[in-house]
Chain A
């Protein structure tokens, strides 16, 4: 290992744990907690994928009887839609990039020995875990899981007798999300305090890696958004169980008055989407940060426009709170309000475009190393652009009214929020696996995994745009008997086959992950020749990250190809060099 500059370390909050329970279960170590989040998300993503497979099967073979599961009824299909969306958004897209990689690498990348509040960090994970258990429990109670969609629109979600699954299952769904919010808030508190207060000497804000900026801004978004979702969840639970009418107007079910009156379903939509739109950025910002990092490392070039990237992250975070109304163009909102939300939504394209141009600028004339993390990072950019380009269509109320309830919308958000973020997670996994486990992942398996995922993703979601434009409505369980959609059935079948193959391709990743943990080639401390602080410490890092010392930072995070430097990268702790950008 090269020599690096260190200072005496600030006090570390806790000593190294002894015993299995304290070390691996109720651990206070941010690295173990990061791994716990990661594996929780891994379990959740396979549950979510399984549910999506069932949906795809039902869409093209609606009368099929499945082994062990039997028939999928229309209401079961809605349950699958609901639980797939909820599990993926909360327990995968929010959990893995922020809770998993953020927990593991944010303290190391800023040169801190741990998070600011380790006990709170542990509680944050176990609260999230409890939320996941409660969510899964909804499948097994009387009536089953809810069918109101991941957006939980009232009054369907607010009345227990509104449908199967809207009894105890829906209560568990709301409670699970409330628990998740509390866990996420504890995590956000730690991320923000740690970033502001525990940076190593010399680690100014403008020397922080873009990953740290992304986790930091994501934590701020979570801090502002999850409190609002929690408040909406409390009101919804009260409507369901205590007879209040916050969200339920005067309404009947099967000809009987429900006893509620005067509530506003739109109030739920406003509160939900005030959380829901920032949630898109909570899912995607960490992936943006990770891919910015990787594009620079594997292009052997400084990131193009570091400051612009930072300001773009901040702008996206800020604007993310101004655009929630574009999810509600169909709600009968005033055209003037819709116009304002439309303009703001298109405005958010500006910082997004800045980021995209800077990613391309980073790649331009780089000495690109096409490693598996780099492939996934480039895949992320591709998906971000493809998914993002349909955003301005939906941002216009007149087009959105036509497209809103069609497959065009799932195509858009799966590409930009779902799979792009997942590609960020894969890129980060292949990149940081050597640091986390001390071994390299199989590069050939990783390449197979990439091509299955990349081609498969486009095969699944590109045709959905055409389905949407042709008028295929989403959320409906059985469209095979509808005449005007008959010609689209072959396309639906193609999507289902593509989904089968793509999901099968994910097994390659699973095998590679667990095989490499035990049998992978031993990794050196800095196998990618990267510059940030996690690569100056041992592999895997010791309990307090830097062996009782704190690194002294002298350089920016992306000093590659510096003229006059002895090698093509300058570590952040190396003697100060003139920035090469």
Chain B
């Protein structure tokens, strides 16, 4: 009949374990991004539907189109550049910490020494750029308000605030993850753990950059 194999420890931190944790975290992220996509798909479909709807003018009792396209602040282009740049630095951070994991694995072998690597502060730079993007978005909102476009002014202004605001909230989640990665570093968590946090955050960050470009195109070209 069948036999029992050896019992493994409850907590394992072997290289195989690292690969499993990384794969699982990436899969989790991929799954987690699905409802985010669905959220923005819903907003996008509402945006397209609302554009085409006529509304009743109570003064003339006629159906009229009330969709007034908004001229987006030019600042949004600068913000876009900042976000793309931050995504680039995030990728450098991801590759750097991946290299550290490889070095640690190599150093674990007897007789093998890993050379010292120069560690660049890509993560703090990404965080600063992320916060700069968020501040830029806030400033763009203020510019819109200064031009008389508030949340409820027109249907198009409602969607501009809705889409940019929802994206900003999601990006804040990424900034929090970056802070978490920094805290993990300060708490001297293992490089493997930090690597997983940075890896998953990096993919999330890239997704946020791509999502922002999609939103900007929707607002700019689908009006």
Contacts and interface: CB of A to CB of B under 8 A. Distances in A.
B28 A193 contact: yes
B50 A8 contact: no
A123 to B, nearest CB: 13
Nearest to B6: A8
Contacts of A575: 1-2
B8 A8 contact: yes
Nearest to B21: A11
Interface stretch (B9-17, B116-124, B132-140): B9-17
B223 to A, nearest CB: 15
Interface string A1-24: 001111111111001000000000
A192 interface: yes
A57 to B, nearest CB: 40
A219 B211 CA distance: 24
Nearest to A575: B2
23 contacts: A5-B2, A6-B4, A8-B6, A11-B8, A185-B32, A189-B31, A227-B35, A227-B42, A231-B42, A238-B162, A242-B151, A243-B152, A245-B152, A246-B46, A249-B56, A250-B58, A261-B55, A262-B55, A262-B155, A263-B53, A264-B53, A274-B42, A549-B5
Given A193-B28, A575-B2, 17 more contacts: A3-B3, A11-B11, A11-B20, A116-B28, A196-B27, A227-B36, A228-B38, A231-B38, A231-B46, A235-B46, A245-B155, A261-B66, A267-B46, A271-B46, A547-B7, A548-B8, A574-B2
Contacts of A223: 31, 34-35, 38
Given A243-B151, A271-B42, A4 B20 contact: no
Given A7-B5, A227-B42, A15 B10 contact: yes
Contact of B42 (A196, A228, A574): A228
Interface string B60-96: 0000001000000000000000000000000000000
**Interface size range on B against A:** 35 or more
Contact of B10 (A12, A227, A242, A262): A12
Interface in A233-276: 234-235, 238, 242-246, 249-250, 257, 261-264, 267, 270-271, 274
Contacts of A196: 27
A172 interface: no
A267 B56 contact: no
A185 B34 CA distance: 10
Interface of B: 1-13, 17, 20, 23-24, 27-28, 31-32, 34-39, 41-43, 45-46, 49-50, 53, 55-56, 58, 66, 151-152, 155, 158, 162, 166
Contact of B32 (A189, A224, A231, A235): A189
| Most A Cβ at <10 Å: residue of B6, B8, B9, B12 | B8
B152 A3 contact: no
The winner among B6, B41, B42, B53 for most chain A CB atoms within 10 A is B42
Contacts of B13: 11
A548 B10 contact: yes
B10 A226 contact: no
Contacts of A270: 45, 49
A193 B46 CA distance: 30
Interface string A499-542: 00000000000000000000000000000000000000000000
B125 to A, nearest CB: 29
Contact of A261 (B8, B28, B56): B56
B2 A230 contact: no
Nearest to B10: A12
Given A9-B7, A244-B158, A250-B55, A189 B2 contact: no
Contacts of B58: 250, 257
B34 A224 contact: yes
A10 B13 CA distance: 10
Nearest to B155: A262
A112 to B, nearest CB: 11
A230 B39 contact: yes
Nearest to A222: B35
Contacts of A95: none
Nearest to A261: B55
A231 B27 CA distance: 24
Contacts of A496: none
B38 A224 contact: yes
Nearest to B157: A244
Interface in A1-57: 3-12, 15
Contacts of B50: 246, 262-264, 267
B31 A193 contact: yes
A117 interface: yes
Contacts of B8: 8-11, 548-549
A261 B62 CA distance: 13
A227 B12 CA distance: 35
